Amino acid sequence: MLNYDIVVIGGGPAGMAAALKAKECGVDSILILERAESLGGILEQCIHTGFGLHYFGEELSGPEYADRFIKLVHEQKIEYKVDTMALEITDTNVVYAINKTDGLLEIQAKAVILAMGCRERPRGALNIAGTRASGVMSAGTAQKYVNIDGYMPGKKVVILGSGDIGLIMARRMTLEGAEVKIVCELMPYSSGLTRNIVQCLDDFGIPLRLSCTVIDIHGEGRVEGVTIADVDENRRPIPGTEQYIECDTLLLSVGLIPENELTRAVGIDLDPVTSGAIVDEYRETSHPGVFACGNVLHVHDLVDYVTLESQTAGEGAANYVLGKKAEAAYIATKGVNGVRYIVPQKVNLNNGNDVKLYFRVGQTYKNAAISVKYNGEEILRRKRPRLAPGEMENVILKKEMLEKFEADGLIEIGVEV
Amino acid sequence: MQKNIICVACPMGCGITVELSDSGEILSVTGNTCKRGDAYARTECTNPVRSLATTVRVTGGVHNVVPCKSAGALPKGKIMDCMAVINAVDIQAPVALGDVLIPDILGTGIDIVATNHCPAK
Amino acid sequence: MIYDVAVIGAGVSGAMIASELSHYDMKVALVERCNDVAMGTSKANSAIVHAGFDAIPGTSKAKFNVEGTAMIAATCERLHVPFKPIGSLVIAFTQEEIDTLEELRARGVENGVPGLEILDQAKLRAAEPFINEQALAALYAPSAGIVCPYELTIAAAENAVINGTELLRNFCVDKIEFADGVFTVSAGAQSLQARYIVNAAGVFCDTVAEMIGDTSIPVTPRKGEYMLYDKTVGHLAKHVIFQCPNPMGKGVLVTPTVDGNLLVGPTATDLPHDEKTNVATTAPMLSKVISTAQKSVPCLTTREVITSFAGLRAHLECDDFIIGPSEKNAQFINVAGIESPGLSASPAIAVYVKDLLVEKLDKAKKAAFEPGRKAPVRFRHLSQEERRSLIAKDPAYGRIICRCETVTEGEIRDAILAPAGARDVDGVKRRTRAGMGRCQGGFCGSKVVELLSELCDKELNEITKFGEGSEILYERTK
């Protein structure tokens, strides 16, 4: 049995930032477990630029953003194991993991930080009818083939879903010589960043069709085409709008799901909206000493926010290990009136810090306001010229404000138009 | 002549209309809600630029390709020409992040640099 | 060389027959039109071992079903294939349907099905907590169970190959000639010779029979569509839950799978004769699957669906299996019309056909043969201690490739290198479950492609999903 103060599961941007912060807070015994061949996580295949604008004030590519943290992990001499998969966390915080060189690892941790990231929703989850031909894959899988392996996964491409990965891959495939015929989006708005719609689609004349989906996949060996159709307000295909589009590849960019198999197996409470753990402001889950951060907690749109959140979790884990965790006096947070979820779901009043609440809305709004209420009474109001589901929002609860609250109170955040 | 532009300076995504004279001179910028929008629209109309991120072929490395980017923005109209130049290059591993792979691509004064490491196999 | 027997079609019938024959002193070829075994009906069906009360007494279906079901546990144990005798329930919503249950029970008793019992509403609810509250009663058949149909097929083919059977893939028979007591079986430029043919070609059994002039078994390809659910809802059914049968088959069932998922389906759509490879799912039928299944288990939604698929079953007008020598040629053995309960019947069919051929060829049992196969490693089922010693022996088991199903590199290597091993991504998936979990190969797909490329000595872009024409990658980007 190995012993570490903190075991971090996942060596992507979340895991590295959490580990570095915990080290900074005075914990020396830290081990990062990474399942891929190197640290960096999904950033390694995100070769486009646009990372780090908030955190570094620079426009970096994914590998460059990751590299800055990898360097720090080395400088700080934080231990890590790559090609290592965590299989199980017990309720006494023993982590079981395997790799080729160590075999089965049994690690007793004082605190565990979950930073496993997320995965893409597959075709099956959409229940698209049609054949099982080759050439249907998630946009992220295609990204790996093109950017890491250097192989083309398709020549004539239809993309379903206008999330950022879908948009980025539309441009990427076009740059490499593929013809991207159309990007279809089920919703009446794109969940991608406006900048990506302009620079990834408009620049290359790729049409974006909103309120539209793929209803059939054709071809026996390789995909030969797809049928698309417009959808009504209930997202049901409208008869008569079907259109056949010849293509050899269908890329899916239809949402991300936090990868919480380990979390679920320990019995940690999950939020049905985020599909991530329910946490307090230090990102501690319902299981004492287990923290979660990054896309395993809730799907972020910017890695910069993943870094910030993970630093918070790293600090929380360090406090836990060093016996500095405050006594619990929780208030709950709850999204209302168009706010789908809030992270953290609870705040410990005894921690005595400003608390940033992150949240997402369920539809687009113009010239709206964010209203924050404590036990039904408005305590904060912020104007927002624009709100969109694809862009994570936040408000800060000042510590002076928190001091006036009492345990078991309720914070509600809603949209007002 | 009129040009309609969606501003990408911030997430607002304002629709901006730029009036141009026959000689391409900017007569007016409307629809923007801030100064950054005005500036973005003017550049976008006169000299649109884009950064480029792609890969370069590597021989003898742990991967077939290494990611790269333009160290600065390139003229938008030259993006596909730059891709052709980049696709013709074959780099010998190892490659280190920040290595200049193609200096001054197409005389733009912009270098193509590696954005990750690619150790030799 | 002249084979003693050529078995055409490596589905569950063909593979089980080849496996039985391989224990005898004869030369056997198992030919398959696709790149892998179990590529037709055997990979896309309800995965049920039926008790045997559906078939009309006196039919081949009734006989082979009851016999086969009695043999399945031992067969699965020998071949290291998981089988779970969880029992089945046919549920009734009306008095009329309760009458049907009584009929089915009487039929079952006549067929020799053991242990049949009619459960009242209280007992039914105790047995199936998530069943529709309006279900009044159920016929319980304890001998029914679940088995993975392609795993059984793969295991049988593997056993056959271990014992010397030649597996010829991508051998799509297009011509059969007969001269001097010997068949010449052609597939494009390839051909082989054999004294006996077993026609186990599934939905193509009529096409193959026509090659010797036997037009007595026209097949209607009957499509069934299914939805497979995440393991998180696997607990919603404890038994195989049928509704009362209808003329098109046994209706939509809800069942756990041996791997802990939940399977619902099938629909039944008769296709034209020329659509024997049409296994596309359709939106109307998928919604019919869910709406019909909800009648059994109302809390089912589409939220936890991880994939949907369709399979074809070879339906004959006589609604029975036809097993035996063709009227056109006594050396040509038809194993035709093997739709449900073909999987349940397969061990009995295999022994029957083997006995027939052993007698005709007058061959003895081999002095030494392998009765089963090496038990495949299933890392996810091992204890931490077992995992420790396994990785110590072979580090390849220390690398997880499929995160959703916890499949190691070692298991994938085994699957590719096994006798009758995987040659494509879907083949690896069926043998190891890599890519079968909730992300459906999003992460592991490319790693499986890399391993196939390494072990089959091919370029990445030569690796296919399920044989030629289904390549996954085009050329290098640069």
Indicate the domain borders of chain A.
1-120+256-325, 122-254, 327-417
Q: Which of B50, B65, B117 sits opposite A199 (nearest CB)?
A: B50
Question: Are A150 and B6 within 8 A, CB to CB?
Answer: no
Q: Which CATH code of 3.40.120.10, 3.40.50.300, 3.50.50.60, 3.30.450.20 fits the domain covering A122-254?
A: 3.50.50.60
Cis peptide before A237 (omega within 30 of 0): no
Contacts of B50 in chain A (CB under 8 A): 199, 203
In Å, what is the CA distance from C283 to each residue of B34, C224, C280?
Answer: 48, 13, 10
Closest-CA residue in chain B for A38?
Answer: B117
Tell me the nearest-neighbour CA distance from C141 into chain A, angstroms.
32
What pLDDT is recorded for position C21? 98
Q: Using the predicted structure, report yes or no on whether residue B8 has a pLDDT greater than 90.
A: no
Half-sphere exposure of A151 (CA within 13 A, CB side): 20
CA separation for the pair A309, A339 (Å, rounded) = 20
Active site residue C50: yes
What pLDDT is recorded for position A131? 95
Query: What tens digit of pLDDT does each residue of C268-321 get?
Result: 999 999 999 999 999 999 999 999 999 999 999 988 898 999 999 999 999 999
Tokens (6 digits) for A190? 């794109």
CA separation for the pair A142, B18 (Å, rounded) = 38
Q: What is the DSSP string of A260-297?
A: -HHHHHHT--B-TTTSSB---TT-B-SSTTEEE-GGGT
Mutation to test the C interface, candidates B58, B62, B64, most C Cβ within 10 Å: B64
Q: Is C14 helix (H, G, I), strand (E, B) or coil?
A: helix
CA separation for the pair C11, C203 (Å, rounded) = 11
CA separation for the pair C416, C409 (Å, rounded) = 11
Contacts of C404 in chain A (CB under 8 A): 261
Task: Give the model's confidence band at B22: pLDDT under 50 very low, under 70 low, under 90 confident, else very high.
Answer: confident
Query: What tens digit of pLDDT does each residue of C157-191 get?
Result: 999 999 999 999 999 999 999 999 999 999 999 99
Class of domain C82-145+220-315 as given by CATH: alpha beta
State the CB neighbour count (10 A cutoff) for residue C41. Answer: 28
Q: Using the predicted structure, report yes or no on whether residue C249 has a pLDDT greater than 80.
A: no
* CATH code linked to domain C379-462: 1.10.10.1100
CA separation for the pair C78, C211 (Å, rounded) = 36
Q: Using the predicted structure, report yes or no on whether residue C100 has a pLDDT greater than 90.
A: yes
CA separation for the pair A208, B3 (Å, rounded) = 20
CA separation for the pair C295, C298 (Å, rounded) = 6
Tokens (6 digits) for C180? 């001097």
Tokens (6 digits) for C454? 């390494």
Q: Which CATH code of 3.40.50.20, 3.40.50.12140, 3.50.50.60, 3.30.420.40 fits the domain covering A1-120+256-325?
A: 3.50.50.60
Mean pLDDT within C445-453: 96
B8 shares contact with chain A (CB less than 8 Å)? yes
Contacts of A144 in chain B (CB under 8 A): none
Closest alpha carbon to C154 in C51, C61, C18: C18
Q: Using the predicted structure, report yes or no on whether residue B11 has a pLDDT greater than 90.
A: no
Contacts of B13 in chain A (CB under 8 A): 194, 386
Sequence-distant (6+) residues with CB within 8 A of C179 are none
Q: Which chains touch C (3 or more CB pairs under 8 A)?
A: A, B
What pLDDT is recorded for position C206? 97
Mutation to test the A interface, candidates C282, C413, C443, C448, most A Cβ within 10 Å: C443
A241 shares contact with chain C (CB less than 8 Å)? no
**Distance, CA of C400 to chain centre:** 27
Question: Are B97 and A195 within 8 A, CB to CB?
Answer: no
Q: Percent of chain C at pLDDT above 90?
A: 94
Q: Which residues of C176-199 are buried (b: 16+ CB within 10 A; e: fewer)?
A: bebeeeebebbbeeeebebbbbbb
Q: Which of C442, C465, C467 sits opposite A140 (nearest CB)?
A: C442
Contacts of A140 in chain C (CB under 8 A): 442
Tell me the nearest-neighbour CA distance from B74 into chain A, angstroms.
13
What are the start-end ranges of the E strands in A168-285? 179-185, 208-210, 212-218, 225-230, 243-246, 249-252, 256-258
Question: Are A124 and C440 within 8 A, CB to CB?
Answer: yes
CA separation for the pair A146, C476 (Å, rounded) = 8
What are the start-end ranges of the E strands in B1-121? 2-6, 15-20, 26-30, 49-50, 53-59, 65-70, 74-75, 90-92, 100-102, 112-114
Q: Do A122-254 and A327-417 fold alike per CATH?
A: no
Q: Which of C279, C404, C469 sits opposite A131 (nearest CB)?
A: C279
Contacts of A386 in chain B (CB under 8 A): 11-13
Interface of chain B against chain C, CB under 8 Å? 55-57, 64-65, 86-87
Alpha helices (runs of H) in chain B, residue ranges in sequence order? 35-46, 79-87
Class of domain C2-42+150-217+319-361 as given by CATH: alpha beta
**Distance, CA of A139 to chain centre:** 15
Question: Are B53 and A194 within 8 A, CB to CB?
Answer: no
Tell me the nearest-neighbour CA distance from B89 into chain C, angstroms.
9
Contacts of A270 in chain C (CB under 8 A): none
Question: Are A133 and C442 within 8 A, CB to CB?
Answer: no
Identity of residue C420: A
Query: Do residues C118 and C105 touch, judged by C-beta distance below 8 A?
Result: yes
Q: Is A197 helix (H, G, I), strand (E, B) or coil?
A: helix
Helices (H) and strands (E) counted in chain C, each on its own, are 12, 22
Domain ranges of chain B: 2-46, 53-114
According to CATH, the superfamily of the domain at B53-114 is CPE0013-like (3.10.530.10)
State the CB neighbour count (10 A cutoff) for residue B14. Answer: 21
Identity of residue A231: V
Contacts of A125 in chain C (CB under 8 A): 305-306
Q: At what angle do helices A303-321 and A13-24 cross, to 10 degrees?
A: 40
Contacts of A132 in chain C (CB under 8 A): 279, 309, 465-466
Q: Which of A102, A134, A155 sits opposite C470 (nearest CB)?
A: A134
Question: Are A47 and B63 within 8 A, CB to CB?
Answer: no
State the CB neighbour count (10 A cutoff) for residue B3. Answer: 14
Q: Which of B8, B52, B65 sits opposite A198 (nearest CB)?
A: B8
Query: Do residues C264 and A127 touch, judged by C-beta distance below 8 A?
Result: no
> May I ask the CATH architecture of the domain A327-417?
Sandwich (2.60)
Sequence-distant (6+) residues with CB within 8 A of A165 are A120, A139, A140, A143, A253
What pLDDT is recorded for position A378? 95
Sequence-distant (6+) residues with CB within 8 A of A333 are A342, A344, A345, A346, A347, A357, A410, A411, A412, A413
| C-proximal residues of A, 196-225, CB under 8 Å | 215-218, 220-222
Burial of A172 (0-12, 13-18, 19+ CB in 10 A): buried
Mutation to test the A interface, candidates C406, C439, C449, most A Cβ within 10 Å: C439
Q: Considering only residues C364 and A194, tell me which one the structure prediction assigns the higher pLDDT.
A: C364
**Distance, CA of A82 to chain centre:** 21
- A–C: how many Cβ contacts below 8 A? 145
Which has the minimum average pLDDT: C230-234, C347-351, C423-427? C230-234
CA separation for the pair A41, A37 (Å, rounded) = 9
Question: Are A386 and B64 within 8 A, CB to CB?
Answer: no
pLDDT in tens, chain A (417 residues): 999 999 999 999 999 999 999 999 999 999 999 999 999 999 999 999 989 988 999 989 999 999 999 999 999 999 999 999 999 999 999 999 999 999 999 999 999 999 999 999 887 778 899 999 999 999 999 999 999 999 999 999 999 999 899 999 999 999 999 999 999 999 998 888 888 999 999 999 999 999 999 999 999 999 999 999 999 999 999 999 999 999 999 999 998 999 999 999 999 999 999 999 999 999 999 999 999 999 999 999 899 999 999 999 999 999 999 999 889 899 999 999 999 999 999 999 998 889 999 999 998 898 999 999 999 999 999 999 888 888 899 999 999 999 999 999 999 999 998
Question: Are A134 and C466 within 8 A, CB to CB?
Answer: yes
Q: Using the predicted structure, report yes or no on whether residue C238 has a pLDDT greater than 70.
A: yes
| C-proximal residues of A, 146-175, CB under 8 Å | 146, 149-155
CA separation for the pair A407, A410 (Å, rounded) = 9
Question: Are A61 and B6 within 8 A, CB to CB?
Answer: no
Largest CA distance in chain B: 58
Contacts of B51 in chain A (CB under 8 A): 49, 59
Domain ranges of chain C: 2-42+150-217+319-361, 82-145+220-315, 379-462
Closest alpha carbon to A125 in A136, A134, A115: A136
Tell me the nearest-neighbour CA distance from C283 into chain A, angstroms.
5
Closest alpha carbon to A388 in A187, A138, A165, A169: A187
CA separation for the pair B94, B62 (Å, rounded) = 9
Query: Do residues C24 and C364 touch, judged by C-beta distance below 8 A?
Result: yes
Q: Using the predicted structure, report yes or no on whether residue C443 has a pLDDT greater than 90.
A: no
Tell me the nearest-neighbour CA distance from A215 into chain C, angstroms.
7
| Length of chain C in terms of residues written | 478
Closest-CA residue in chain B for C460?
Answer: B64
B63 shares contact with chain A (CB less than 8 Å)? yes
- A–B: how many Cβ contacts below 8 A? 75
- B–C: how many Cβ contacts below 8 A? 11
Contacts of C410 in chain A (CB under 8 A): none
Mutation to test the B interface, candidates C450, C474, C476, C478, most B Cβ within 10 Å: C478
CA separation for the pair A402, A396 (Å, rounded) = 11
CA separation for the pair A390, A371 (Å, rounded) = 20
CA separation for the pair A240, A244 (Å, rounded) = 12
Tell me the nearest-neighbour CA distance from C478 into chain B, angstroms.
6
CA separation for the pair A278, B9 (Å, rounded) = 35
**Catalytic choice (C50, C273, C315, C381):** C50
Query: Mean pLDDT score of chain B, rounded to an integer?
Result: 93
What pLDDT is recorded for position A377? 95
Q: Which of A61, A175, A386 sits opposite B67 (nearest CB)?
A: A61
Tokens (6 digits) for A120? 């893409």
Q: Which residues of C421-459 are buried (b: 16+ CB within 10 A; e: fewer)?
A: bbbbbbbbbbbbbbbbbbbbbbbbbbbbbebbbebeeee
